[in-house]
Amino acid sequence: MYVSIKTHVIVLLIFATMLPFVLLRIFAYPIIQSDLKTVIMDNLEAIGHKQAELVTTWMRERMKDVIVVASNSNVIHSAKITADEMERKDTVSYLETLVSEYGYKGAFITDYNGTIILATSEEQVGNDVSKMSFFTQAIDGKTCASNIFPSKVSLINEFDENELGVPTMFVASPLQDENDNIIGVVALRIHVGILSNLMHSYAYGKTGETYLVNRNAYMLTESRFNKHLKKTGVVHRRSALEVKLLDPETGKLTLSAKHCIAGKDGSNSVGYNDYGGIPVLGVWDWIPEFNWGVITEIDRVEAYGPVFNLQHIVLALILAIAFPFLVVAYLIGRRFAHPIIRLKEVAEEITSGDLTKKVEIESHNEIGDLSTAFNIMTNSLHEKTKETVESEERYRKMFDSLKEGVYQCQPGVEGKFTWVNQSCAEMFGHNTPEEMVGTKVKDIYVDPGDRWRLLEILEKHGIWRDFVSVCKKKDGEPLYTERTTNMIRTENNKPLLIEGIIRNITGRKRLEDELHESVQRDRELFNSLTEGVYQCEPGSEGSFTWVNLACAKMFGYKSPEEMMGVKTKNIYADPEDRWNHLEKLEKYGVLRDFVSNCKKKGGKTFYTERTANLIRNEDGDHVTIEGIIRDISEQKNMKAKLKKSEKYQKSKG
């Protein structure tokens, strides 16, 4: 067959022109397509994981809020007061300020039995929450968060309407008095809408969304596509607690929901049907701390749109570009490949934790749009991470400002301190917490057996309150301490760490010893007196509250303890003497040389002489009667004999 050179040249030129594009299509395009899909999934996974971290951090901050409220002295006192309306108003004002400034929906305080005694909403006072899970956990000493559930009282919904059944939840913490006894519970009602806003804080494309799911596969936050779901009849009021994550085609749980509620973290880059029946790519994380799952999804068509667009562009280039544009075609191919590779490299650096990286690509096409969206996403993640770090630092400073020592340490006899606040470090003679972290816990005890006893109690009961022990500072100086300690365990019930609050009670111990010695000296002094000394309640029905040994024996009792509690009216042979005694004390405040006929425990009468003083408080109310009493029976008998003798002498004279 005859073929002209012209044809050969044309064919060769066409072949030479098409060969690079064919090779690009066969070899380079699959690599670019794979890398782009990897970048897209990396971005989706980064968003999903950061959303899970954001929710966890936000919830932990709420639990720290309720711990701070529970440690407020006015809040603790409000669980005990019954009638002081001014103190109640102060506490309500404090709670209302907290609710207003931190975005809560309400707050209340219950007594030990679960009855609401004080709340930001007056209608809630008197309600019984003892059956609620958050109350039962808090009254057992645990700071906790409830599940998201339909409210049992009317709340203002997102439409500014009162509605029963609005999704709500609580964080609660126990209230403990000065002896660390649990006396009630404080609870904060969380605005669930804030969780929805958190889920929507990272917008990934037009169809990307993130939402929370519970163990029953129900959506807990609002869908980004609520309006569409309402139009199709899937949702009546809202997505939360209404939408169950089922594949409309099979009626079974969606792939992400099935794996997530099983406690498995993962992702899917192939595609599966979501609750709307749309093929999506997804990433899911299970948060066991709150029994929630975080699912992030984007429509498969949108996610892989740049990949499909790239395919069309390559095909168009193969069909449209001729030999004169060969170099241009090559540069364009290189131009498309280089940004994607660079995008992948930056994504890998961001995945390793460097959120400051940016993709420096100036391109007015899909790659440029993708790089711009990528930079916005990473910047947003960086800001949120920065806020989280700052929030952790604020709470760290708050713990460092406490007067009591707060610490965490490893379990076991050889355990070391893993974290302490500034007060704890200074208590044991260290300049900074960092200086104390890493030291062995057993080195702070004067008696190493105290460490063994503490670990045995924690192993058995999990907590030990008001544990007093003699410790020593870094330089060996001894000090008395009192602490409340709690053993934290893993899901497998293995000891994880020990945390506690410790205070220096050396000064209090010294005062207690001095007071005990003073009381003992006073007791010995009064018991050495031959005259009776007593204290009794004022009034005709008053009882003896304290007597010395001489007073007890004077009235026929073996010991002061036996006489204490006896009605004062029972010692008078003539009841009128008691009334005369009280009337004169009421009038003059002091009664001297008052003579009365009294009777002993066995009924034997005898004459006494006393000096008594009525003690009043600042308001003039009677507090107690103090007095000194002596037996003058012998004096009385002597006087009687003397008078009898005088009469006898007169009769003889």
pLDDT in tens, 566-608: 999 999 998 888 888 888 888 888 999 899 999 999 899 999 9
Residue 492: is its pLDDT beyond 80?
yes
What pLDDT was estimated at residue 325? 53
Contacts of 616 (CB under 8 A, 6+ apart): 589, 622, 623
Amino acid at 613: N
Amino acid at 369: D
Residue range 73-87: mean pLDDT, rounded = 72
Q: Containing H/E element for 595? A: strand 590-599
Q: What is the crossing angle of helices 326-351 and 29-70, to 10°?
A: 30
Strand partners, 282: 268, 297
Residue 58, Cα to own-chain centre: how many angstroms?
Answer: 12
Q: How many residues does the chain have?
A: 653
What pLDDT was estimated at residue 165? 84
Q: Higher confidence at residue 101 or residue 528?
A: 101
Residue 221: is its pLDDT beyond 80?
yes
CATH of domain 529-640: 3.30.450.20
DSSP 568: G
Residue 2: is its pLDDT beyond 50?
no
3-state secondary structure 394-454: HHHHHHHHCCCEEEEECCCCCCEEEEECHHHHHHCCCCCHHHHCCCEHHHHECCCHHHHHH
Residue 321: is its pLDDT beyond 70?
no
One fold for both 71-195 and 529-640?
A: yes
What pLDDT was estimated at residue 4? 46
Strands (DSSP E) found in 443-553: 463-472, 478-489, 495-504, 532-536, 544-547
Strand partners, 169: 190
Q: Higher confidence at residue 501 or residue 310?
A: 501
Residue 514, Cα to own-chain centre: how many angstroms?
Answer: 39
| Residue 42 near residue 351, CB atoms below 8 Å | yes
Instruction: Label residue 206 by pLDDT band (50, 70, 90).
Output: confident
Residue range 187-192: mean pLDDT, rounded = 91
| Residue 528 near residue 509, CB atoms below 8 Å | no
Residue range 69-97: mean pLDDT, rounded = 80
What's the CA gap between 521 and 137, in Å, rounded? 49
Distances (CA, A) of 84 to 77, 88, 199, 605: 11, 6, 44, 50
Residue range 13-18: mean pLDDT, rounded = 61
Phi then psi for residue 495, to 5 deg, are -55, 130
Phi then psi for residue 525, to 5 deg, are -65, -50
CATH superfamily entry for domain 71-195: PAS domain (3.30.450.20)
SS3 27: helix
Average pLDDT, the chain: 84
CATH of domain 402-510: 3.30.450.20
- Closest listed residue to residue 259, CA positions, set 272, 243, 242: 272
Instruction: Label residue 6 by pLDDT band (50, 70, 90).
Output: very low
Instruction: Give the best-scoring range by mean pLDDT among 144-158, 260-274, 311-325.
Output: 260-274
DSSP 248: T
Amino acid at 622: H
What are the residue boundaries of the structural domains of the chain, listed by start?
71-195, 402-510, 529-640
Positive/negative CA dihedral, 502, 507, 510, 516: negative
Distances (CA, A) of 518 to 106, 107, 511, 525: 51, 47, 10, 10
DSSP 146: P
What pLDDT was estimated at residue 18? 66
Residue range 372-398: mean pLDDT, rounded = 72
Q: Is 78 left (phi over 0), alpha (psi -120 to 50) or beta?
A: alpha
| Residue 625 near residue 613, CB atoms below 8 Å | yes
Residue 9: is its pLDDT beyond 60?
no
For tokens 């660079």, name the residue: 342
- Closest listed residue to residue 344, CA positions, set 382, 397, 306, 314: 306
Residue 427: is its pLDDT beyond 60?
yes
Q: Higher confidence at residue 157 or residue 216?
A: 216
Phi then psi for residue 174, to 5 deg, are -75, 150
Lowest mean pLDDT among 25-29, 395-399, 590-594: 395-399
What pLDDT was estimated at residue 111? 92
- Closest listed residue to residue 314, CA positions, set 518, 32, 533: 32
pTM of the model: 0.47
Lowest mean pLDDT among 10-14, 338-342, 482-486: 10-14
